[in-house]
Chains A and B, each alone.
Chain A
Amino acid sequence: GAVVSQHPSWVICKSGTSVKIECRSLDFQATTMFWYRQFPKQSLMLMATSNEGSKATYEQGVEKDKFLINHASLTLSTLTVTSAHPEDSSFYICSAYPGGGTEAFFGQGTRLTVV
């Protein structure tokens, strides 16, 4: 199956700093990438949809100025959590969609802890 690499797998940062998470499709081009977050013992919630070369579409309730998404190429999307606070601590996971009616493929996730 197709491989999606997410980096870093875990990160600890101080409150007020920014953190960048990368999502790469290694063996296919992704027309669309999705970003999800998951709180402990809860399900995944879609945060935003990003298409290469255009602005991301954010789900209701997700602050676009806090969660900056850049999809600069067909193989890379980044999520930057700006001015992180402890309540942003969560598991963030991306998925990449190759198009053509296939399924999307998921990265391994990033555990963010803000202290």
Chain B
Amino acid sequence: KQEVTQIPAALSVPEGENLVLNCSFTDSAIYNLQWFRQDPGKGLTSLLLIQSSQREQTSGRLNASLDKSSGRSTLYIAASQPGDSATYLCAVSSGGYNKLIFGAGTRLAVHP
């Protein structure tokens, strides 16, 4: 059974810091891995999608890497801003394309 773990569970940093959020999964047989952002009481915003054959994806200040063999992914956020404050969720597509298994998330707070 696929399990997804995210570390840390919560993170509070001053504005401008570079951050690394970690995600690990137990079964390397995945189709893809996605990082999402969720604001309180809201739905999900897809940030980055990495196919199983890819090693990383970049979008603006965000960079996500995937090491499928070791079951790990990292989300790197450069020059963090207060507007980055949200919960970041990692999800792997396992047991069926786009059948997503989510981690518990990392709650990020960036203070001015």
Q: Is B66 an interface residue (CB 8 A)?
A: no
On chain A, the number of residues with a Cβ less than 8 Å from chain B's Cβ atoms is 24
Which residues of B does A touch, CB under 8 Å?
Answer: 32, 34, 36, 41-44, 46, 49, 89, 91, 96-105
Interfacial chain A residues near B36, Cβ < 8 Å:
106
Given A6-B43, A43-B89, A103-B34 contact (CB < 8 Å): yes
In order of increasing CB-CB distance, the 3 nearest A-B pairs are: A108-B43, A104-B98, A109-B43
Contact A43 B103 (CB under 8 A): yes
Q: Are B43 and A97 in contact (CB under 8 A)?
A: no
Q: Which of A49, A107, A109 contacts B96 (CB 8 A)?
A: A49
**A-chain residues with CB within 8 Å of residue B97 when the two chains form the complex:** 97, 101
Measured CA separation A43–B106 after assembly (Å): 10
8 Å CB interface, A47-84 against B: 49
Chain A residue numbers with a CB within 8 Å of B101 are 46
Can you list 28 A-B contacts (CB < 8 A)?
A1-B46, A32-B98, A34-B98, A34-B99, A36-B102, A43-B103, A43-B104, A44-B89, A44-B100, A45-B102, A46-B99, A91-B41, A95-B98, A95-B100, A97-B98, A103-B32, A103-B46, A103-B98, A104-B100, A106-B36, A106-B43, A106-B44, A106-B46, A107-B43, A108-B42, A108-B43, A109-B42, A109-B43
Closest approach, in angstroms, between the C-beta of B87 and any C-beta of chain A? 9
Q: Name B102's contact: one of A6, A43, A109, A111 (CB within 8 Å).
A: A43
User: Which residues of chain A come closer than 8 Å to B96, judged between CB atoms?
Assistant: 49
With contact pairs A105-B46, A109-B42, A109-B43 given, residues A42 and B98 touching in the complex (Cβ less than 8 Å):
no
Find out whether the CB atom of A103 lies under 8 angstroms from the CB atom of B49.
yes
In the bound complex, CA of A108 to CA of B45 (Å): 9
Known: A103-B32, A103-B34. A42 touches B43 (CB 8 A): no
Q: Give bound CA distance, A34 to B100, whole Å.
A: 9
The smallest beta-carbon distance between B38 and chain A, in angstroms, is: 9
Q: Is A93 an interface residue (CB 8 A)?
A: yes
B48 to A, closest residue via Cβ:
A103
In whole angstroms, what is the CA distance A91 to B101 when docked? Answer: 17
